[in-house]
Structure 1
Amino acid sequence: MDWNSKKIRSILEAALAEDRVANDVTTTLTIDPGLRASGTIIAKEPCVISGLGCIPVILDIFSKMNPATVGRFQVVSHPEIFDGVKVKKGQSLAVIRHNAHALLSTERVILNLMQRMCGIATLTNEYVRAISGTKAKVLDTRKTIPGLRVLDKYAVSCGGGVNHRLDLQDGILIKNNHISLGGGLPAVLEKALKWHKAGQIVQVEVRSQTELDQAIAGGAESILLDNMTPSQVKKAVKQIRSAPQKILIEASGGMNLKGIRKYAEAGVDFISVGALTHSAVAVDLSMRITADLY
């Protein structure tokens, strides 16, 4: 993750502007503008870390928005603490040393982003562990918070998941609405295979035996088995594996921790889980801020 990229900085700038951090009246009226402080981010529950890289960028942006707080800052974490690492309840994730105004004004933005990202990473890791020992991999989806997709998907990767399409130009996925509006699966698939660009895998979502037969016969490069039972998926996998061409197989639809392993054991290559990003619960983190005497 390039935290200093234009895209990431624009997301963080928007978050700081939304909270009007340069106009923090409580801090301005009550705290000495020259006070230095230390902020320690603490995990209040076990979790997988994600989002540590946002901290120095947020502080840099804040300093530009509020020149009065410009000054040296330092973000310190233990060498063994970084994105993707599991931590226990009570562990310190990072210590931030900066002007007290900067810490107080950016505290909520930092925690909001990291709590969500750690929540996604932690949930993803649970799904990854649930299918360990199989060849299947856990995929994310585009069911992300608008404007935060790049952060959501990065958090998935921190949890051991695999990023699927980042956006609509990142790959071709023919779904039921394309099929109904485009003249049927064979016609839509033929057009996609004819006009797609190099590197764009043509995937077809199938919901019935007829659609599965048409997808295989039409030369689909990847097939998504949607809302099928594990036994139906196992049967479909056997048919797809016997096709003359190599076809990637994905299962999707209502996946949960209790049942995902049955789908993995059915022989699919990937299992997409929308819950990773649309239903992850934020991890409980806190920032303990104290006056710095150094």
Structure 2
Amino acid sequence: MDKNLLHGMIREFLREDVGRGDLTSESIFSEFDHGSARLVARDSFIVAGATTVAAEVFKVQNPSILAIDAVADGTRSRPMMELLTVSGPVIDLLKAERVALNLLQRLSGIATLTARFVDKVKGTSVRITDTRKTTPGLRVLEKYAVRAGGGANHRFNLADGVLIKDNHIAACGSIREAVDRVRGKIPHTIRVEVETDSLDQVEECLTCGVDIIMLDNMSPDMMTRAVKMINGRALVEASGNVNLETVESIAGTGVDIISIGALTHSAPACDIGMDWSF
């Protein structure tokens, strides 16, 4: 986690939430009032961001805040488990509370859902990856949470790699034309991936010698046939219609990668609270 990038993001989040000041807390407490609080799990889930993100929120709010006993990312929590303890000026602890909880709840939810998918394909060589279907402004954090849950990252942005999708092909005219144009512009070190939705398109990719073939919204039976056609000549990625009920059968087709947008766009937040220490 790049702390310079993270701290810049956190300052924006705090600026949004605090506004011109915490009218409630600043009316009740003085700058000399100090206290301690604990971030506590209300349920069982995979923790992501206690030490790497939530603790940093409190430190950005006030560097004098002490954040200790943070639970490591990837840890499975249990109800009433303490994830982080913070001590410092009461006003600043309360100003940072909601941003810290929002991020920790969101990231832990992503890590937990990712871990469920990873568990479903355990024993295979398939890698579970995310997509670019992330919350604007939170991509670096959400993709971090995927890794905390045992998954891997796809492209971080459009400059990260070549993925020729259906609209590129439709606008260009053919896979061959799109691949030729791309290869005329990119360095030889960049791999070319193409999205396909039919066996004919898979065959066209093979004739073009693409590096990665994405099988989009295909049935497991069609994926199995596609994998046999490809026969190790390219990496095979499956995408579309992937959920916890279908991921095992998709993994059984022999694909190398399964990319799942739901990891980041549909993960439910975990239940975490901040309890005051007396």
CA distance in 2, matches of 1:49, 1:76: 16
Residue 181 of structure 2: aligned partner? 191
| Structure 1 position 88 matched with structure 2 position 114 | no
| Structure 1 position 283 matched with structure 2 position 231 | no
CA contact (8 A) 1:170 1:200 kept: no
Within 5 A, what are the aligned runs for 1:15-94?
Answer: 15-20=13-18, 23-52=21-50, 53-63=52-62, 72-77=64-69, 81-94=71-84
Residue 10 of structure 1: aligned partner? 8
Residue 192 of structure 1 deviates from its aligned partner by 1.7
CA contact (8 A) 1:40 1:289 kept: yes
CA distance in 1, matches of 2:76, 2:60: 29
- Residue 249 of structure 2 aligns with an amino acid whose one-letter code is K
CA contact (8 A) 1:139 1:272 kept: yes
| Structure 1 position 241 matched with structure 2 position 231 | yes
Question: SS state of the match for residue 195, structure 1?
Answer: coil
Which of 242, 245, 266 is the equivalent residue of 1:255?
Answer: 242
Question: SS state of the match for residue 220, structure 1?
Answer: coil
| Cα 1:199/1:51, change in 2 over 3 Å | farther
Residue 117 of structure 1: aligned partner? 107
CA distance in 1, matches of 2:103, 2:34: 24
CA contact (8 A) 2:214 2:236 kept: yes
CA distance in 2, matches of 1:216, 1:158: 35
Question: SS state of the match for residue 67, structure 2?
Answer: strand
Residue 114 of structure 1 deviates from its aligned partner by 0.6
CA distance in 1, matches of 2:76, 2:68: 18
CA distance in 2, matches of 1:17, 1:183: 48
Residue 183 of structure 1 deviates from its aligned partner by 2.3
CA contact (8 A) 2:53 2:100 kept: yes
- Residue 41 of structure 2 aligns with an amino acid whose one-letter code is A
CA distance in 2, matches of 1:57, 1:132: 33
Question: SS state of the match for residue 184, structure 2?
Answer: helix
Within 5 A, what are the aligned runs for 1:206-217?
Answer: 206-217=196-207
CA distance in 2, matches of 1:55, 1:175: 37
Count of equivalent residues: 277
CA distance in 2, matches of 1:113, 1:218: 44
| Alignment gaps of 5+ in structure 2 | none
Question: SS state of the match for residue 88, structure 2?
Answer: strand
| Cα 1:51/1:199, change in 2 over 3 Å | farther
| Alignment gaps of 5+ in structure 1 | 64-69
Question: SS state of the match for residue 225, structure 1?
Answer: strand
Please report the TM-score for the alignment, with normalisation by the length of structure 1: 0.91
| Cα 1:40/1:198, change in 2 over 3 Å | farther
CA distance in 1, matches of 2:107, 2:136: 14
Residue 120 of structure 2: aligned partner? 130
Q: Deviations over 1:246-283 (max 9, x none)?
A: 31100000200011011111111100000000000000
CA contact (8 A) 2:55 2:84 kept: no
Question: SS state of the match for residue 36, structure 2?
Answer: strand
Residue 198 of structure 1 deviates from its aligned partner by 4.3
Residue 66 of structure 1: aligned partner? none
